[in-house]
Amino acid sequence: MNKKIAVIKGDGIGPEVVTEAMKVLDKTAEKFGHSFEYDQLLMGGCSIDANGVPLTDETIEKAKAADAVLMGSIGGNTATSPWYKLPADKRPEAGLLKLRKSLNLFANLRPALLYGELKDACPLKAEIAERGFDMMIMRELTGGLYFGARKTEEVDGIVTATDTLTYNENEIRRIAVRAFDIAMKRRKKVTSVDKANVLDSSRLWRKIVEEVAKDYPEVSYEHMLVDNCAMQLVKDPAQFDVVLTENMFGDILSDEASMITGSIGMLASASLNDTKFGLYEPSGGSAPDIAGQNKANPIATILSAAMLLRYSFDMDKEADAVEAAVAKVLKDGYRTGDIMSEGMKLVSCSEMGDVIAANI
């Protein structure tokens, strides 16, 4: 099978980790008789440097023409980078928000799995880590505060900033349906996270989720306030299967979930639209402090590539092979610096890509 993948390597460690994911994809294609064609595009800070904007219309059109998009992290040091002296709509992250909107990527999937071999890297108490966890955080991606109207103005002589949180029932229903569909393939439990004791948008969220749940009698579901969920993630993460939530809450909770896996470098991510098309990226940032040093952990990006194979290309066996290779490498004791522990084998970013590809 021949597939075209748009590749956005991004900023910071992005080019390093995406290169390793491409290495693993190429090895998978070789083993299973496929061919992958890559169209390398610019977005984020590198696009600002080259084009003056974080995302060009040409990049959007080329991304739409591909079968899927594989992406590294974007952005830089917000305190020192000249990118963050630009207006908000010209900064690197504005390009990502625009791309998500342009591609109608409304459903963000972020699995958080604690590998048994990384229990020592988990920052939680040993008895909690010992129980392990395997959850899927479903984050609505194109609504809420991040896409609402915003302004900064002077009101009665006082500078005032306003951000608007807006959701309609259709936006909520379509992400809820995705969450319940995925729960049917997992352990059949959905935890819907909101702030319904304060926000009107959350009360509507809760109402629509309850309506969707009626179509899935096999799936148990519960509502949980976001502050309680943040606590439960570090107290008893094993209780969660599918966590369904809105944009900003999902942004924060998925990063928290990534850290309890042992490293943010372990958490993959997929953003899907109404078809098989998706954008796949690691959940972590661009880590400019270690960029270019061959120290980054590429596993999250490699696992994102496995999700690309599974969700956009329907290549389940190939995705299984990549995930099994990652598990084997961890079992064999290979570690990048962020997940290193005593007695393990410290490897660079490129060496980790090499050993994973060798185990496909």
Catalytic positions: 146, 195, 227, 251, 255
Biggest alpha carbon–alpha carbon distance for the chain: 68
Burial 247-275 (b: 16+ CB within 10 A, else e): bbbbbebbbbbbbbbbbbbbbbbbbbbee
How many C-alpha atoms does 171 have within 13 Å on its Cβ side? 22
Q: From CA 149, how far away is CA 170, in angstroms rounded?
A: 19
Q: From CA 282, how far away is CA 14, in angstroms rounded?
A: 9
Pairing of strands 35-41, 2-8: parallel
SS3 labels along 173-232: HHHHHHHHHHHHCCCCEEEEEECCCCCHHHHHHHHHHHHHHCCCCCCEEEEEEHHHHHHH
Phi (first) and psi of residue 42, to 5 degrees: -105, 140
Q: From CA 267, how far away is CA 259, in angstroms rounded?
A: 9
Pairing of strands 134-140, 242-245: parallel
Phi (first) and psi of residue 188, to 5 degrees: 60, 50
